[in-house]
Structure 1
Amino acid sequence: MSVHAYTDDALGHLDAVGTVAALAAGEVSAREVVQAAITRTEAVDAELGAVAWRAWERARAEAAAPRGGFFSGVPTYLKDNVDVEGMPTLHGTDAFVGRPARRDGDLTRMYLATGLVALGKTRLSELGFSAAAEHPRLGPVRNPWDPARTAGASSAGSAALVAAGAVPIAHANDGGGSIRIPAAVNGLVGLKPTRGRLAQDVLLRRMPVRIISDGVLTRSVRDTAAFLREAEKVYRDLSLPPMGDITRPGRQRLRIGVTTTGAGRAATPEVAEQTLRTAALLEELGHHVEEVAAPAPASFADDFLLYWASLAAASLVGGRSQHGRTFDRTRLDELTHGLGEHVRRHLVRLPGAVARLRRTAGVSARFHERHDVLLTPTLATPTPLVGHLAPGLGYDTVIERLQEWVAFTPWQNATGDPAVSLPLATDADGLPLGMMLSAGHGREALLLELALELEQARPFTHLGRSEGV
């Protein structure tokens, strides 16, 4: 049975843009919508386990005199791996004692400058390394569509709260699919922007391959488009084409490639069938669609895993310098330790893997000379049950299951290209299946125009609304 908080209060079924309109019209106040979001969170979080840190009194105080910006007064949460002044940054683990951040991080400053009111922080998988937030001591983050299923990761908490109706928009970030994966399993819109599109914290800017991008999880395409528009007013990367105001579908008919094979793994027959149905819808809309081979080379899955594992190794070695004297590496889960061991065994291969990952941008650019957009499923299988990816199962089991499930999303993290997951399909149990569209460097506007067209042609289903609430 699903879990949601939709009711006849100040938020109703409004998305973020709808909430802005209601605030501007005087139909509701910032105090009312913030309190509604707090009440809704209280109603669902005991079952979902999505909140890492509550800052409700602070949010109530801010709602009394909200800062300016397009989203002024709209409630939100930030993922618990970015610094927010006065709140600890716990990174999804209990391996250290969190200390309140002295100042907002670069991403947080940009995010909140749009006017959003932070109610607190959301849970993620430990240090963001798993595609399911199932901590051995903190417990899992559950999917509001079916609490027996995972909410994905690492932005699981944000996705669960948006899907359950607690807030209309929440922060997420994506190093291997962690905006798009939870969007797919929770029936949301999740766009990973082009590398550099949004402000980024300094540690992420220094990565050898900058695989991580920040963004938002929303229930409508227009919310994601509005956020990127407003964020650009605060921070602009001049090397990228401007986002502008995307409010309607594009008129251009596109060359779209489709594949149901990712990084060495094929989608299940059910997921492949739904992907081809989405391809047929695109053809009905007048786009030119053809089946293509996946652009990722044969070495990609192993290279990405090794680089991913190197980030875990860095956390194991540098945890105390980053998180303080209370850091205890023995409390990190088996997946984190297993990734560290993986890079130790294959360290000699790491420089070559990094070099090949850096070259993927050129591979992708050549692909997009022939195809404007690539359509794939977001994930290769339907949403697994809680426990399927539990770290305690052991590294070999979990990493095999992760690679089987997450076969499509890491490609755009390596290339730096934008990609969006849309809730365009469901599985045999009626649970969401995300379909992913990706485009060339800097072409978020193209993706959003296509996403608006698809949303109009096949309106998204949301919890509560589908149940007559």
Structure 2
Amino acid sequence: DGAGSVRIPAAWCGVAGLKTTAGRLPSADRTGLAVPGVLARSAADAASWWQVVAGEPEPALPSLPVTAVWSPDLGFAGPDPEPVALGRAAVERLVAAGVVRLVRPRVPVRLMDPGPAWLALRTPGADPAGAHRVRAENDRRLAALFAGAELLLTPTAPTAPHGHEGPGGRYSTSLTWAFNLSGHPALSLPAGFGGDGCPAGLQLAAPHGREGLLLALAREAEARSGD
């Protein structure tokens, strides 16, 4: 902003950010919730990082358009209207560019809120039984969704960016930590700017082990948009 302070999560909504599949790369986190990833200027740069750290070849472009399901809230997040509108507009640009094709899920996307489970797993001495039940149920619902579509699209954050004072009573990570809990790979792409001038993001989540799909698709989206 004008005072030179950092808005969070504006920093990672304005770049290409990749979260890898849980367990694919080494992590010192005992809970398995934090995994290696990268923030890069572009999807092409993120793909180069992935080639180096994973030792995989350049991600191959899949047959286009890729089937995708759009969810503004994953069934629990209660996002603000502006990030939803910006995310949806970014989805429509992907559709117009021939990169994705929206499909209707067999059942509505309604995950259990991962927040309490995430916090329980992060708290030493907490009983993890409830967290494991939430994880298992969300894994079941995501498996059913990915049986009918290759991608799940959501806003990256449900709220406008906040300062270092924190998000208040609502977590700006609520749409991203769903995939920290499930271990699915996810990638955030810039989705435009809100009324405050801060960037918003569009999150793409894929089945386990499909980082190559996310990166190839994001790189093609950038190429077709001229970004």
Bin of the TM-score, shorter chain as denominator length: 0.7 to 0.9
> Is the CA contact 1:365–1:441 (under 8 Å) kept in the aligned structure 2?
no
Match of 1:244 among 36, 57, 61: 57
> Is the CA contact 1:249–1:451 (under 8 Å) kept in the aligned structure 2?
no
Counterpart-to-counterpart distance in 1, 2:166 and 2:177: 20
Counterpart-to-counterpart distance in 2, 1:182 and 1:360: 28
> Is the CA contact 1:256–1:374 (under 8 Å) kept in the aligned structure 2?
yes
**Which residue number corresponds to residue 156 of structure 1?**
none
**Which residue number corresponds to residue 313 of structure 1?**
124
Residues 1:289 and 2:102 aligned together: yes
TM-score by length of 2: 0.86
Residues 1:422 and 2:200 aligned together: no
Higher relative contact order (CA 8 A, sep 6+): 2
Instruction: Give, in angstroms, the shift of residue 250 of structure 1.
Output: 3.7
**Residue 313 of structure 1: SS of its match in structure 2?**
coil
Counterpart-to-counterpart distance in 1, 2:75 and 2:147: 21
**Which residue number corresponds to residue 320 of structure 1?**
none
Number of residue pairs matched? 224
Counterpart-to-counterpart distance in 2, 1:407 and 1:199: 24
Counterpart-to-counterpart distance in 1, 2:217 and 2:198: 23
Counterpart-to-counterpart distance in 2, 1:308 and 1:459: 40
Q: Deviations over 1:151-176 (max 9, x none)?
A: 34xxxxxxxxxxxxxxxxxxxxxxxx
**Which residue number corresponds to residue 261 of structure 1?**
73
Instruction: Give, in angstroms, the shift of residue 295 of structure 1.
Output: 4.2
**Which residue number corresponds to residue 101 of structure 1?**
none
Instruction: Give, in angstroms, the shift of residue 381 of structure 1.
Output: 1.4
Runs of 4+ with >6 A deviation? none
> Is the CA contact 1:191–1:420 (under 8 Å) kept in the aligned structure 2?
yes
**Residue 38 of structure 2: SS of its match in structure 1?**
strand
Match of 1:231 among 48, 53, 58: 53
Q: Deviations over 1:6-63 (max 9, x none)?
A: xxxxxxxxxxxxxxxxxxxxxxxxxxxxxxxxxxxxxxxxxxxxxxxxxxxxxxxxxx
TM-score by length of 1: 0.44
The aligned amino acid for 2:74 is G
> Is the CA contact 2:76–2:110 (under 8 Å) kept in the aligned structure 1?
no
> Is the CA contact 2:117–2:130 (under 8 Å) kept in the aligned structure 1?
no
Question: Aligned pair in 2 of structure 1 residues 425, 352: CA closer, same or farther (>3 Å)?
Answer: same
**Which residue number corresponds to residue 387 of structure 1?**
165
Instruction: Give, in angstroms, the shift of residue 429 of structure 1.
Output: 2.5
Counterpart-to-counterpart distance in 1, 2:27 and 2:131: 24
The aligned amino acid for 2:124 is A
**Which residue number corresponds to residue 378 of structure 1?**
156
Instruction: Give, in angstroms, the shift of residue 440 of structure 1.
Output: 0.7
Instruction: Give, in angstroms, the shift of residue 296 of structure 1.
Output: 1.1
Question: Aligned pair in 2 of structure 1 residues 194, 355: CA closer, same or farther (>3 Å)?
Answer: same
The aligned amino acid for 2:27 is Q
Instruction: Give, in angstroms, the shift of residue 189 of structure 1.
Output: 1.0
**Which residue number corresponds to residue 188 of structure 1?**
15
**Which residue number corresponds to residue 199 of structure 1?**
26
- Structure 1 runs not aligned, ≥5 long: 3-145, 153-180, 234-242, 315-342, 390-397, 461-469
Q: Deviations over 1:89-117 (max 9, x none)?
A: xxxxxxxxxxxxxxxxxxxxxxxxxxxxx
Which one has a larger percent helix, Structure 1 or Structure 2?
1
Instruction: Give, in angstroms, the shift of residue 276 of structure 1.
Output: 1.6
- Percent of aligned pairs with the same residue? 25
Whose Rg is larger?
1
Instruction: Give, in angstroms, the shift of residue 458 of structure 1.
Output: 3.3
**Which residue number corresponds to residue 51 of structure 1?**
none
Counterpart-to-counterpart distance in 2, 1:352 and 1:386: 31
> Is the CA contact 1:282–1:289 (under 8 Å) kept in the aligned structure 2?
no
Counterpart-to-counterpart distance in 1, 2:104 and 2:194: 22
Counterpart-to-counterpart distance in 1, 2:80 and 2:44: 31
Residues 1:278 and 2:97 aligned together: no
**Which residue number corresponds to residue 222 of structure 1?**
44
**Which residue number corresponds to residue 77 of structure 1?**
none
Instruction: Give, in angstroms, the shift of residue 357 of structure 1.
Output: 1.2
The aligned amino acid for 2:133 is A
> Is the CA contact 2:18–2:37 (under 8 Å) kept in the aligned structure 1?
yes
The CA RMSD measured in Å over matched residues stands at 2.5
Q: Deviations over 1:209-239 (max 9, x none)?
A: x222111111111111111111123xxxxxx
- Structure 2 runs not aligned, ≥5 long: none
Counterpart-to-counterpart distance in 2, 1:306 and 1:257: 25
Instruction: Give, in angstroms, the shift of residue 431 of structure 1.
Output: 1.5
